[in-house]
Homo-oligomer: A and B are copies of this chain.
Amino acid sequence: MPALNATQPPFGLMQDWPLTVDRVLEHARVNHGHREIVSRSVEGPIVRETYADLYARARQVSTALLEDCVQPGDRIATLAWNGARHMELWFGAMGIGAVLHTVNPRLFPEQIAWIINDAGDTHMFFDLTFLPIVEQLAEKCPAVRRWVLMTDEAHAPPAGKIPNLAIYESFIAGKSRDVTWGNFDERTAAGLCYTSGTTGNPKGVLYSHRSNVLHSLTSLQRDSLGFSVDDVIMPIVPLFHANAWGITFSAPAVGAKLVMPGSKMDGPSIYELMDAEKVTFSAAVPTVWLMLKQYLEETGKRLPHLDRIVVAGSAVPEAILRSYEDDYGVKVFHAWGMTEMSPLGSMGATTPEFREQGKDAVQRNKLKQGRPSFGVEMKIVDDNGNELPRDGKTTGHLVVRGPAIAGAYFKNAGGNILDKDGYFDTGDVAHMCPLGYMQITDRAKDVIKSGGEWISSIDIENIAVGHPAVANAAAIGLAHPKWDERPLLVIELKPGQSASREDILAFLTGKIAKWWLPDDVAFVEKIPLGATGKLNKLQLRQTFRGYTWPEQAVAAR
């Protein structure tokens, strides 16, 4: 066989154009340089800069970092809200091969200190809001060489407890814009984001330039985020949540206007910005949409500009979906993902099969977690890793594979995380249907294993919270002499309401399979929640460790 070119094996003869994120901002500067990033600043006023400004200021950030002896691979941390300065740090750090490490400011200060030290951050950029936290952190994080307050001198506090403190605007003022970006291997580390499991220490996900660019491209497909230059995009999801679901890259990639809510995420503030800037697309967790819906109902206001929203972070409640679609004419898409997936995994875009069945079928299907776009491979497997059928009912461990999915955690925490075929176990239990839609039925650690079969705790809870007296519900599996495990349903009643064990069980009867019916109901003052608002079942299982099933429950089965 004649060689196709000088290099073996026979390679194609296309240009070598590494997928580095600086090219995304370069594209925005050249083709959409005048398009705006509108931010509600932490100092108060609405500020406007263009992609050309963002590019110029990010170059100054790069020079300032280089002059501060930042090396490729160094971790540059942020504790900041969604705003243009935060975006400048993104490209300023990544452009020179440093790693932008976004820290979640909602964690406890001790957790933040642990994460900063684990990451080995050399710099920490933070918003004014977080000055009190940083004053506590500074002495606990000796490896941080520079703390930079993201404001100007006029808003800087009097000299305080933080050593090596710089003020952002002075730190970058007058710095050269003549700096080289990119020009390195596309697998170079670009971003670091810790994910906090319910057990053990948080683990870092180390994104690469390649994974960021590919995640951006795959998410730009019409049936995923599908951004256009006509979009005005408001990421309410924080930038510190996996690059705001990748919007830091996907918005400039298409030249869309960005609207950044800063620290104010209450209904009136969000609405005001949305309306004034004619936002067409927004992304947030269900709580935000619930809050905005309440504000709209109270004020009678409408959403004339908003075309579509993406809801993720936790399952979209049906009432939210139907209200936004039917009452406000906003298309709602349910998405699912994980920090480890950059983060988008699946998206609830409709297929013709559901459209043909009418609106109700479409909306019911939208409550599922959605289907993967090209770039994410997804399957369900049994305990031994064998693929299970996509029949819309068989549940199994959800495992995923793709170019923007973690292959290991930072510093190899937790060891090998891939199976022999390179799939990552999401820790979720799900079923999939022949049309590609995936529905999560449980977390693997929360699933109730009764007589070799799985009972979905989430399904039981979703029905139980429909009882008028129930404020919150958690189904947990407890050891059972005959069936290995059986469900105990823990109920938190609404203030002033009452319901008996029999009331709750009667309410469930007929709505789930008979063998799924909890063997007992326990009432508690308050169901414990984790830092992100999810049910803390680990704590519940500890609370009920010594629990004894009632006689009749053991006898009945």
User: Is residue A71 within 8 Å, beta carbon to beta carbon, of the partner chain?
Assistant: yes
Name the distance in Å between A414's Cβ and chain B's nearest Cβ.
Answer: 12
Interface-central residue, A23, A209, A222, A342, by most chain B CB under 10 Å: A222
Given contacts A14-B404, A16-B422, A17-B422, 17 further A-B contacts (CB under 8 A): A1-B74, A5-B206, A9-B72, A9-B184, A9-B185, A11-B187, A12-B190, A13-B206, A13-B208, A14-B210, A15-B406, A31-B435, A32-B436, A217-B218, A217-B374, A222-B222, A255-B351
Interface residues of A in 436-492 (CB under 8 A from B): 436
Name the distance in Å between A122's Cβ and chain B's nearest Cβ.
Answer: 9
A125-133, A227-235, A293-301 - the one binding chain B = A227-235
Interface-central residue, A9, A97, A210, by most chain B CB under 10 Å: A9
A16 engages B436 (CB within 8 Å): no
A410 engages B222 (CB within 8 Å): no
Q: A-side interface residues toward B, CB under 8 Å?
A: 1-2, 4-5, 9-17, 19, 23-24, 26-27, 30-34, 71-74, 97, 99, 120, 184-185, 187-191, 205-211, 214, 217-218, 220-223, 226-230, 253-255, 342, 349-352, 355, 371-375, 377, 401-412, 418, 422, 424, 434-436
A440, B210: Cα distance in complex, Å: 33
Which residues of B lie under 8 Å from residue A349 when comparing CB positions? 228-229
**Contact A12-B222, Cβ < 8 Å, known A17-B403, A99-B4:** no
Which residues of B lie under 8 Å from residue A1 when comparing CB positions? 71, 73-74
B351 engages A405 (CB within 8 Å): no
A342, B352: Cα distance in complex, Å: 30
B209 engages A2 (CB within 8 Å): no
Query: 20 A-B Cβ contacts within 8 A?
Result: A1-B71, A1-B73, A4-B99, A4-B411, A9-B73, A11-B185, A11-B208, A12-B189, A13-B406, A13-B410, A14-B342, A14-B406, A17-B403, A17-B422, A23-B374, A31-B371, A217-B374, A217-B375, A222-B226, A253-B374
